[in-house]
Amino acid sequence: MNAITSIEHFIQYIPKAELHLHIEGTLEPELLLKIAERNQVTLNYQSVDAIKKAYQFNDLQDFLDIYYEGANVLRHEIDFFDLTWAYLEKAHSQNIVHTEIFFDPQTHTERGVAFSTVINGIHRALLKGQEELGISSKIIMSILRHLDEISALKTLEEALPFKEWITAIGLDSSEIGNPPSKFARVFEKAKNEGFETVAHAGEEGDADYVREAIEILKVARIDHGNRSLEDETLIKHIVENQIPLTICPLSNLKLKVVKEAVYHPLLEMLNLGMVATVNSDDPAYFGGYINENFLTMTTALNLTSKHIYQLSRNSFVASFLTQGEKDKWLTVIDLFYEQNHGRIQ
């Protein structure tokens, strides 16, 4: 490693964990076209440029419509393997050493692709990522909240034979009108089966969605959680209980959850004592992977190496690694900070 003298290098080389990443959201236009051709799926777009042009969103639903359309090209185990492997190579190039990825089984099973096809492809790539790139990983199975409880329960049943591979159950898709309480029984069953739980909340939905996710779904962390800042009592609860928030800055900008980068609440969250982390959500659609998310926030909010260090620490603290694994990485990060922060101009 060269001497680290800039904040850009500090961001690049500090070891990071990514905790909020939809594997279907890493489908880059080039790979989308390649897999579409391989599977003889007809697309509305004929070129990478045409696809990129279509990636303009007014809100979450606008994005989800295109995201589900893109996922439609994924049909075989090799497609899920290729998708996951491409993400891991990118993650490795940005010094992500641990990743916890979401997959949305219903996006695929509803189209007739078997649950096993999806998870076998993802899992095989993650094993290779551990062996060849040294990236550790966890899988989070996410429930589509716009679908009903019966579909969610069926999906949970399908996950049971793969329990060893799945660490947590999550909740994503269209938030407003689909509050966490809709899935109270699903998450209770998931907990009873020994899964951890997380949920997207407070992205477009208000603070009540976050409160429900904590109180009813008993989540270990909140995905997004931006709108928890609208409620003083909730902020106090999140800080006191150190419930982590997985923040996705470029996603927030693209989906107009935050108007401009300078108004992003990331720094405010850190100053409040929240365990905020930086993540890329759906990087192929939102214009950047984890380091671009860090860089955008650093420029807009004047983050220092101390903030980056704190965010990197938070990512391991908030992860589903064992305490021993967390301690190992925290020692590495502490040393990295000690050795490098003084030289940054």
Q: The tokens 């969250």 sit on which residue?
A: 269
Query: Could you tell me which of 31, 112, 26, 117 has the C-alpha nearest to residue 78?
Result: 117
User: What's the closest the beta carbon of residue 102 comes to Zn ion, in angstroms?
Assistant: 7
Please state, in angstroms and rounded to a whole number, the distance separating the CA atoms of residues 206 and 225.
Answer: 9
> Contact positions toward ligand HPA, by CB under 6 A?
22, 25, 60, 67, 172-173, 200, 203, 251, 281-282
Q: Which residue is nearest to ligand HPA (CB)?
A: 172
List strands edge to edge, sheet with 136-144. 16-22, 96-103, 136-144, 166-172, 196-201, 221-224, 245-247, 276-278
Nearer CB in complex with Zn ion: 175/212: 175
Q: Of Zn ion, ligand HPA, none, which one does residue 212 interact with (CB within 5 to 8 Å by kind)?
A: none
Dist CA 32 CA 34 (whole Å): 5
Element holding 13 (H helix, E strand): helix 7-13
Task: Please give the Cα distance from 162 to 122 (Å, whole number).
Answer: 12
For the chain, the maximum distance between any two Cα atoms, rounded to a whole number of angstroms, is 56
CB 28 within 8 A of CB 284: yes
99 binds, among Zn ion, ligand HPA, none (CB under 5 to 8 A by kind): none
Q: Which residues contact 300 (CB under 8 A, 6 or more apart)?
A: 260, 261, 262, 264
CB of 344 to Zn ion, least distance (A): 31
Q: Is 203 a catalytic residue?
A: yes
When CB distances are held under 5 to 8 angstroms depending on the partner's kind, the choice from ligand HPA, Zn ion, none that residue 158 binds is none
Which listed option, Zn ion, ligand HPA, none, makes contact with residue 25 (CB within 5 to 8 Å by class)?
Answer: ligand HPA
Of these partners, ligand HPA, Zn ion, none, which one is at the site of residue 203 (CB under 5 to 8 Å by kind)?
A: ligand HPA
Kindly state whether residue 104 participates in binding Zn ion, applying the rule CB under 5 A.
no
**CA dist 38 to 78, 228, 314, Å?**
11, 44, 41
Name the one range near Zn ion by CB under 5 A: 40-48, 78-86, 280-288, 321-329. Answer: 280-288
Minimum distance, C-beta of residue 258 to ligand HPA, in the bound complex (Å): 13
**28 or 282, CB closer to Zn ion?**
282
Indicate which residue of 203, 230, 260, 292 is catalytic.
203
User: Among Zn ion, ligand HPA, none, what does residue 60 contact (CB within 5–8 Å per kind)?
Assistant: ligand HPA
Q: Which is nearer to Zn ion, 102 or 329 (CB)?
A: 102
* Of 14 and 60, CB closest to ligand HPA: 60
In the complex, the smallest distance separating the C-beta of residue 172 from Zn ion, rounded to whole angstroms, is 5
Q: What SS3 class is residue 272?
A: helix
Is 17 or 60 the residue whose CB approaches ligand HPA more closely?
60
Q: 305-317 and 290-301 helices cross at what angle (nearest 10)?
A: 140
Q: Give me the residue label for tokens 């019966």.
A: 150
Q: 286 with 256: CB under 8 angstroms?
A: no
CB closer to ligand HPA out of 14 and 144: 144
281 touches Zn ion by CB under 5 A: yes
Is residue 14 a contact partner of residue 95, using CB atoms and an 8 Å limit?
Answer: yes
- In the complex, least distance from residue 174 CB atom to ligand HPA, rounded to whole angstroms: 7
Give how many residues touch Zn ion by CB under 5 A.
1
100 is a contact residue toward Zn ion (CB under 5 A)? no
Q: Which residues are catalytic?
A: 203
Q: Residues in the site for Zn ion, rule: CB under 5 A?
A: 281
